[in-house]
Amino acid sequence: MTDVEAVRPSTMEAAPTGSRRAWLGLAVLLLPVLLVSMDISVLFLAMPTLTVDLDPSASEQLWILDIYGFLIAGLLITMGNLGDRIGRRNILLVGATVFGIASILAAFAPSAGVLIAARALMGIGGATLLPSSLALISSLFRDARERAAAIGVWTAFFAGGSAVGPIIGGVLMHHFWWGSVFLINIPVLLILLAFGPFLLPEHKSSVRGPLDLLSVALSIGGILPVVYAIKHTAAEGFDLWPVGLGVLGVVILVVFVRRQTHLAEPLLDLRLFGRAQFSVAIGASLVGMMSLAAMSYLTSIYLQSVTGREPLDAALLGIPMAVAVFVCSMSGARVGHRFGVRATFVFALLASAVGNLLLLGIGVDGGIGWYLVGSTIAGIGYGLAFTLVSDVAVSSVPPERAGSAVGISETSFELGNALGLALLGSLAALIFRSGGDYAATLGETIQHAGADAALIDSARESFLTGMHIATTAGAALLVIMAIIARVFSPKR
């Protein structure tokens, strides 16, 4: 994402401010936002069935879930910069086409490797959709109050999409095969491709320099080896090769950060982190998405592989949390203005932590009530926190840096989701496997156990132990972030 305010000479097709066309344009922009965020979590409930059909290894399972979010996180700022050069509407429509083709490949993937490749291509397409859609809102709505309202709706759909993903996935799984969770993208994208050229204005800068391709390569080349090392160690144990690869990734990231400090047009403007409120907002979105991703993924497995529920039944139990996230995302900005951003951030982070801790009441033979209450309370906290992030990120920096600030905030959402699955998900997997002579995952253990009820019960207990430790770790991170927000955020 680049600085919208800083662009001087440009080409733009104006849309009437506040007109019906502008609001119809917003409705079209919400479609890719919902799809991109929904596809982060839509596979959670499909993983047990997908595992039986494609037989992926434990490492491949995590890559199926992770590669999408990590490529989005690594390319968001790059694609935002590219959109300024070739046109934001142009890159939005190209990205939608790539996303649609990748969705078809994923739906009919014959192997885990093909599915991982298709998810990677979806991540590349998704990285073009988020920054261009948010940047185009500034072109559609010139009035500050209308623009703020439109961005609030955009944020609610972005935050709510990951919450409703498992529900939609469960409904589709009840009637169709696991590939249907990808095919649902196609009709939505066709609507975008049909109406986008008529309802969305084009915006293109004529003064931007060339993209720094070395920074793009360094950012991705640093993130992926580090994540691979973490996941391999959790799944297979300590090994010198992945650890060495992880160290190399850290070195590459250090080089990337140092390079950004010397570029006139960096991909990542590190000066923004010198502002306390901006740093707190980014930290809150990163930690919040880490804990939300881990909780959603682990509880989806719990509801199916531990309690034995069908995907649709598991999805219905996720409705209270999804509603809480969406409703609170819509009202979070108003709550922040009423009680203050610092107080709202602290309350939201602590509420999310309490919700995660209430999951400790879940057991093999009961505890669904604890899940419903805990996930709903956590959803309230997540919804309030996420809707403040974009607003605070923009308002805490000068107007000429607002575009870069939004790009960083979007990246923190995606990176937090992927880190939650890689770090907290791998922690749960490590605890599970250390509890006995089990297969790589709970689903595989149950499948191979046959009539050995004792082994199945033991594996379920071990999985719950891992889930409890991982969600408690997520709660601890949320509490630490709440303390940081309380100490370092300005009072007003």
| Res 421: pLDDT | 74
The strand pairing partners of 205, in sequence order, are 10
Distance in angstroms between the alpha carbons of the first and the last residue of the chain = 27
Contact 328, 383 (CB under 8 A): yes
pLDDT > 70 fraction of the chain, expressed in percent and rounded: 82
Mean pLDDT of the chain: 78
Q: Over 90: is that where the pLDDT of 438 sits?
A: no
Catalogue the long-range contacts made by 404-408 (C-beta closer than 8 Å, 24 or more residues apart): 404/1, 404/2, 404/3, 404/77, 404/269, 404/272, 405/272, 405/278, 406/1, 406/131, 406/134, 406/135, 407/1, 407/2, 407/76, 407/77, 407/80, 407/131, 408/1, 408/77, 408/268, 408/269, 408/272, 408/282
pLDDT-derived band at 209 (thresholds 50, 70, 90) equals low
| Res 1: pLDDT | 42
pLDDT in tens, 214-236: 888 888 788 778 777 776 665 56
pLDDT in tens, 325-351: 878 877 776 777 778 778 888 999 999
Kindly report which listed range (122-136, 138-152, 388-402, 430-444) carries the lowest average pLDDT score: 388-402
Q: Over 70: is that where the pLDDT of 208 sits?
A: no
Q: Over 60: is that where the pLDDT of 109 sits?
A: yes
Contact 318, 166 (CB under 8 A): yes
pLDDT-derived band at 10 (thresholds 50, 70, 90) equals very low
pLDDT in tens, 32-72: 787 777 776 677 667 777 777 787 877 777 788 778 877 87
Kindly report which listed range (154-163, 401-410, 436-445) carries the lowest average pLDDT score: 401-410
| Res 255: pLDDT | 93
Distance CA 169, CA 174 (A): 9
Q: Which tops the pLDDT comparison, 242 or 256?
A: 256
pLDDT in tens, 370-413: 999 999 999 999 888 887 776 676 666 654 455 566 667 777 87
Q: Over 80: is that where the pLDDT of 317 sits?
A: yes
**Fold classification of 16-212+263-488 (topology level):** Growth Hormone; Chain: A; (1.20.1250)
Distance CA 461, CA 426 (A): 17
Closest CA to 297 of 136, 443, 112: 443
| Res 456: pLDDT | 81
User: Can you tell me the mean pLDDT for 438-458?
Assistant: 76
DSSP character at residue 89: H
Q: Which tops the pLDDT comparison, 116 or 82?
A: 116
Kindly report which listed range (78-92, 105-119, 226-240, 351-365) carries the lowest average pLDDT score: 226-240
User: DSSP string spanning 384-400?
Assistant: HHHHHHHHHHHHTS-GG
pLDDT-derived band at 16 (thresholds 50, 70, 90) equals very low
| Res 350: pLDDT | 95
| Res 468: pLDDT | 93
pTM of the model: 0.75
Q: Which tops the pLDDT comparison, 41 or 360?
A: 360
Name the most confidently modeled range: 107-121, 319-333, 418-432.
Answer: 107-121
Q: Over 70: is that where the pLDDT of 172 sits?
A: yes
Q: Over 50: is that where the pLDDT of 4 sits?
A: no
What stretches of 7-132 adopt beta strand conformation (E)? 10-12
